[in-house]
Structure 1
Amino acid sequence: MSEPSARRGRRRAPRGSGEQLRGEILDATTELLLKTGHAKDVSIRAVAQRVGVTSRSIYLHFADKDALLDAVCARYFEELHTEMQRAVEGKVSTLEELRAQGMAYVRFAIAKPELYRIATMGEGRPGSDVDAALTSSAFVHLRESVASLISEGVYPPGDPTTLTLELWTAAHGVAAMLIAKPYLPFGDPLTFADNVLRAVCTGHMAIGIVGVDSDPGQTLQWVLDNKGVR
């Protein structure tokens, strides 16, 4: 279906249904982002044409293009939040929940690479809706799991926010590599992701046992000792 045909097929929201129109604006912006792959190629005018309204109607809901893009990215992370909640269903331990959350994050990212790149690798602004989404949804889920592991004595004592950022950075790195360099010899992408996340998650368990101040040599010796190797 051509873009003009798509616009003709889209019904304009009835008068007074502001939330419906706002949703259509976000849908249209998302479609354009997926089509172009770049935020700079998406304009207020193009969004208005796709929805079938005037540019002024867009500005009634969003102050400017940055605010519109922030709202699209925030909605993306709300969807991620839902996927991460679903991922922990049926898990019997907090460590399994954490691992499942990380995998849900990676799966969601590689399923929507264009949106993920724009939402997480674009230029951000402190205090934006995107920041609010990250701290109130996906990040909060990870932090709750990490805090539980610390309280259970599985992870070493410390600031759960800092440790969560470390784990999140690992998940983001895996997702970013799979999206940006899909031709590298990763093998099965999800198996690769699971191996990395498992190593990171269990690595913090070892740090908790050996001690956060131990050097690599001490950690290696502990590993060898517990494998029965002298």
Structure 2
Amino acid sequence: MTGSRVRAAKGQGGLLREQLLDIADQLLEEGGADALTIRAVATRAGVTPPAVYLHFASKTELVHATCLRVWSSLFLELEEVSRGVPDPVTVLYETCVAYVAFGLRHPSQYRLVMDGEATEASRQNADACFRYFRDKVTACLDAGVPVESTTETARLLCASVHGAVCLLIHQEHDAWPRDIARYVTRVASAAIHGALLTASHASPPSMSAVMQSG
């Protein structure tokens, strides 16, 4: 389907750029990375490909900008769930919940960024996410949680939530758990309990340890 022609008045090139990104995001949601091309964006916008190239020098740059814009909303969501919560461990839990939920809501963008196809977007977002989690772990340490290494603990948390997202988004949707909300909260709970309980030492699991923790 071709949309109405997009025109930007003089001095409103930024508005046209945002409209092109809106279309690129729609194409990603509808057909994944293969559907997102300069020509497809131009066709849906009702402009010629050169008009798109005025804002994005290549498909890679277009993908990069589209992914970064979506991912910027993640950090707004993470800040929102943290606002007004005094317990840093609860904040860390809610951060994990929000992260996994975000990835499952934006599977195409998540795959593009975290699988490395949008190279610069991948680097920026991976670094930003890691630093965000490490800051939250540091807050737990400051509150008295025995954390030997904030870097190692943050790395374990990132591996847990990233793995939980990837496990589903690389499968057909009908293979996903029926109760996604329960999946998300259990992943977050398991990640927090696992990472923080082993934050000061990594002891091998045993039947007695599991029974005691219950």
Band of TM-score, shorter chain? 0.7 to 0.9
- The TM-score normalised by the length of structure 1 is 0.80
**Could you list the runs of 4 or more consecutive aligned residues of structure 1 that deviate by over 6 angstroms after TM superposition?**
none
Count of matched residue pairs: 213
8 Å contact from structure 2 (residues 28, 36) kept in 1: yes
Q: Distance in 2 between matches of 1:89 and 1:204?
A: 23
8 Å contact from structure 1 (residues 155, 204) kept in 2: no
Q: CA deviation at 1:187?
A: 5.0
Structure 2 counterpart SS, 1:156: coil
| Identity rate, percent | 30
Match of 2:28 in 1: 33
Match of 1:198 in 2: 189
1:191-229, Cα deviation, whole Å (9 max, x unpaired): 1221222122122332245x24x3445xx65566677xx
Q: 1:22–1:184: structure 2 CA closer, same or farther, 3 Å change rule?
A: closer
2:127 to 128, 135, 138: 135
Q: Which amino acid aligns with 1:131?
A: R
Gaps of 5+ in 2: none
1:171 to 156, 161, 171: 161
Q: 1:185–1:70: structure 2 CA closer, same or farther, 3 Å change rule?
A: closer
- The TM-score normalised by the length of structure 2 is 0.85
1:118-155, Cα deviation, whole Å (9 max, x unpaired): 33235342xx134224433x443322101222333414
Counterparts of residues 76-95 of structure 1 (less than 5 Å) = 76-95=70-89
Gaps of 5+ in 1: none
Q: Distance in 1 between matches of 2:89 and 2:188?
A: 11
Match of 2:11 in 1: 16
Structure 2 counterpart SS, 1:173: helix
Counterparts of residues 141-180 of structure 1 (less than 5 Å) = 141-158=132-149, 160-179=150-169, 180=171
Rg larger in 1 or in 2? Answer: 1
